Amino acid sequence: MIAVYPGTFDPVHYGHIDIAKRAAELFDKLIVGVYDRPQKRVMFPTEVRVAMAREALADVANIEVESYSGLTVDFMRRHGAQVMVRGLRVISDFELEYQMALTNRRLAPEIDTVCLMTSLEYAFISSSIVKEIAFAGGSVSQFVPPHVERALLELVKRRGEGAVGAAL
């Protein structure tokens, strides 16, 4: 069975990696779908987010990472995916995920949503928190892989020098 784990992954962090690796154990193939046109502003361009996710998940043979635009259910149909994987950290996540699952079910009745509870050690991590820490000068090494930390530090440095990084 093919599953899709969609998100912006801006940037990918250990919570995302935890969900992806656990989902890969449940399904024959997991496609990590990096959404390229989110409503929210992203820090890294799509190709960088894809590259960071690919490197973070390179050790899992049945995971593929690719970008997409448009409806997630249409992306899933193109890949023959039957299940959407979502991660839940806190109760407020459930409300949004429940609404999205019901909407997606209406758009694509053949697709189910499976929510995995984030492992306790990653329950507080979000991409927004990681970015906030990085731009405030704090260390993000415990939240993201080394290659993502380097990319964040470079972006912070460029911003500090007056350059506007990515889509900021």
Catalytic residue among 13, 49, 86, 127: 127
Tracing tokens 């996540």 back to the chain, one arrives at 93
3-state secondary structure of 140: coil
Q: Is 159 a catalytic residue?
A: no
Contact (CB, 8 A) for 4 and 112: no
127 is catalytic: yes
- Identify the active-site residue in 13, 16, 49, 86: 16
Cross-strand pairs, 115: 86
* Residue 43 main-chain phi, psi, to 5 deg: -85, -40
Annotated catalytic residue, options 40, 41, 92, 106: 40
Catalytic residue among 21, 79, 89, 158: 89
Residue 83 phi/psi, 5° resolution? -135, 135
Active-site residue 141, yes or no? Answer: no
Examine the residue annotation and report whether 147 is marked as an active-site residue of this protein: no
Q: Which two tokens stand for residue 55?
A: 């490197």
Active-site annotation, residues: 16, 40, 89, 127
